[in-house]
Amino acid sequence: MTTVAFAGNPNVGKSTLFNALTGLRQHTGNWSGKTVGVAVGTLRQNTQIQLVDLPGTYSMDGTSEDERLAADYIRQGQADCVVVVCDGSCLARNLILALEIIAHSQRVVLCVNLMDEARGRGIWIDKEKLSRLTGVPVVLTAAGHRQGLDALLEEIFRTLGKPPQLQKHWENPIEAANEIAKNCTERTNHNKENWRLTLDKILVSRRRGVPILVMLLFFIIWLTIWGANYPAALLEQLFDGGYGLLKSVTAFLPWWLGGILIDGIYRTTTQVIAVMLPPMAIFFPLFTLLEDIGYLPRMAFLLDRPMSRCGGCGKQALTMCMGLGCNAVGVTSCRIIDSPRERLAAILTNAMIPCNGRFPTLIILGSIFFGNVTGGVLVAGCVLLGVLAAMVMTRVVTKTVQNQESAAFLMELPPIRKPRIGKILVDALLHRTLHVASRALSVAAPAGAVLWLLANTPLLSKLAIFLEPLGLLLGMNGVILLAFVLSLPANELLFPIILMVLTGMGTLYDGVLSGEQLLSMGWTWQIALCTMVFTVFHWPCGTTLLTIYKETGSIIKTAAAFILPTAVGVMLCLLLRGILP
Partner 1 sequence: MPMEAICPGQRVEITEIPKNHPLRKRLESFGVLPGREIVCRYTDPKGDLVALEILGTVIAARVSDLRGILVRSVL
Question: Using CA atoms, how far apart are residues 502 and 404, in angstroms rounded to an integer?
Answer: 49
Between CA 330 and CA 104, with CA 334 as vertex, the angle to 5 degrees is 125
Among 24, 204, 429, 488, interactor with partner 1 by CB under 8 A: 204
The single residue among 412, 437, 441, 567 that binds partner 1, judged by CB under 8 A, is 412
Q: Which of 37, 120, 135, 209 binds partner 1 (CB under 8 A)?
A: 209
Q: Hey, which residues between 155 and 174 contact partner 1 (CB under 8 A)?
A: 174
- The correct pick among 2, 26, 42, 59 for binding partner 1 (CB under 8 A) is 59
Query: Could you say whether residue 210 binds partner 1 (CB under 8 A)?
Result: yes
Q: Which is nearer to partner 1, 154 or 175 (CB)?
A: 175
User: Are 239 and 265 a contacting pair, CB within 8 Å?
Assistant: no
Q: Judging by DSSP bridges, how do beta strands 185-187 and 123-125 pair with one another?
A: antiparallel
Q: Return all residues near 364 (Cβ < 8 A) that are at least 6 apart.
A: 275, 495, 513
For partner 1, the binding residue among 154, 175, 186, 510 (CB under 8 A) is 175
Instruction: Residue 464: name the closest of 388, 521, 398 by CA.
Output: 521
CB of 122 to partner 1, least distance (A): 12
In the bound state with partner 1, the residue whose beta carbon lies nearer, of 117 and 492, is: 117
- Is residue 408 close enough to count as binding partner 1 by CB under 8 A? yes
Our CA dihedral for 552, 567, 386, 293, rounded to 10 degrees, sits at: 10
| By CB under 8 A, residue 55 contacts partner 1 | no
In the bound state with partner 1, the residue whose beta carbon lies nearer, of 310 and 368, is 310
CB atoms within 10 A of CB 93: 16
Nearer CB in complex with partner 1: 96/572: 96
Q: How far is the CB of 525 from partner 1 (least distance, A)?
A: 39
Q: For 463, how many CA atoms within 13 A lie in the half-sphere containing its CB?
A: 19
Output 190 or 516, the one with its CB closest to partner 1. 190
Separation between Cα atoms, residue 118 and residue 87, nearest integer Å = 8
Give the Cβ contact number of residue 422 at 10 Å: 8
Q: Which of the residues 219 through 278 are near partner 1 (CB under 8 A)?
A: none
Figure out which of the listed residues 44, 68, 93, 423 binds partner 1, where binding follows CB under 8 A: 93
CB of 414 to partner 1, least distance (A): 8
Exposure string over 369-386, b if 16+ CB within 10 A, otherwise e = bbeeeebbbbbbebbebb
Task: Rule CB under 8 A: say whether 90 interacts with partner 1.
Answer: yes
- Smallest distance, Å, CB 178 to partner 1? 6
* 84 phi, psi to nearest 5 deg: -90, 115
Sole binder of partner 1 in the list 96, 102, 108, 299 (CB under 8 A): 96
Which of the 8 DSSP states describes residue 61? T
Q: Give the nearer residue to partner 1 in terms of CB position, either 299 or 326.
A: 299
Q: Is 305 in the site for partner 1 (CB under 8 A)?
A: yes
401 part of the interface to partner 1, by CB under 8 A? no
Q: What is the DSSP string of 287-356?
A: HHHHHHHTHHHHHHHHHHHHHHHTT--THHHHHHHHHHH-HHHHHHHGGG---HHHHHHHHHHGGGS--T
Vertex 58 angle, CA 54 and 63, to 5°: 90
Binding partner 1 (rule: CB under 8 A), the pick from 92, 151, 246, 377 is 92
Whether the Cβ atoms of residue 510 and residue 240 lie closer than 8 Å to each other: yes
Which of the residues 471 through 490 are near partner 1 (CB under 8 A)?
A: none
User: Does 197 help bind partner 1 (rule: CB under 8 A)?
Assistant: yes
112 binds partner 1 (CB under 8 A): no
CA–CA gap between residue 299 and residue 278 (Å, rounded): 26
200 near partner 1 (CB under 8 A): yes
98 forms part of the interface with partner 1 (CB under 8 A): no
| Residue 319 binds partner 1 (CB under 8 A) | no
- The answer to whether the CB of 126 falls within 8 A of the CB of 187 is no
Q: Closest separation between CB of residue 408 and partner 1, Å?
A: 4
Residue type present at position 209: G
Q: In angstroms, give the least distance from the CB of 188 to partner 1.
A: 15
Q: Is 190 in the site for partner 1 (CB under 8 A)?
A: no
Nearer to partner 1, 148 or 173 (CB): 173
Give just the sign of the alpha carbon dihedral 386, 390, 391, 395. positive
Instruction: Work out the number of other CB atoms within 10 angstroms of the CB of residue 175.
Output: 11
301 lies in the binding site for partner 1 (CB under 8 A): yes
- 312, 342 in Cβ contact below 8 A? yes
By CB under 8 A, is residue 62 in contact with partner 1?
yes
- 297 or 540: whose CB is closer to partner 1? 297
**Contact flag: residue 189 with partner 1 (CB under 8 A):** no
72 binds partner 1 (CB under 8 A): no
- 80 is a site residue for partner 1 (CB under 8 A): no
For partner 1, the closer of residues 112 and 440 by Cβ is 112
Task: Compute the least distance from the CB of residue 397 to partner 1, in Å.
Answer: 21
| Interface with partner 1, residue 75, by CB under 8 A | no
Gap between the Cα atoms of 193 and 212, Å rounded? 22
Instruction: Please give the C-alpha separations between residue 316 and each of 86, 230, 261, 330, in angstroms, as whole numbers.
Output: 27, 34, 43, 9
CA distance 444 to 493: 7
Please identify, among the stretches 195-203, 248-256, 278-286, 563-571, the one whose residues bind partner 1 according to the rule CB under 8 A.
195-203
Can residue 310 be called a binding residue for partner 1 (CB under 8 A)? no
Number of residues that bind partner 1 (CB under 8 A): 42
User: Distance of CA 161 to CAs 85, 149, 165, 237, 384, Å?
Assistant: 20, 18, 12, 59, 56
**Minimum CB–partner distance for residue 92 and partner 1 (Å):** 4
Nearer to partner 1, 308 or 503 (CB): 308
- Residues in contact with partner 1 by CB under 8 A are 58-59, 61-63, 89-93, 96-97, 174-175, 177-178, 181, 197, 200-201, 204-207, 209-210, 297, 300-302, 304-305, 308, 314, 408-415
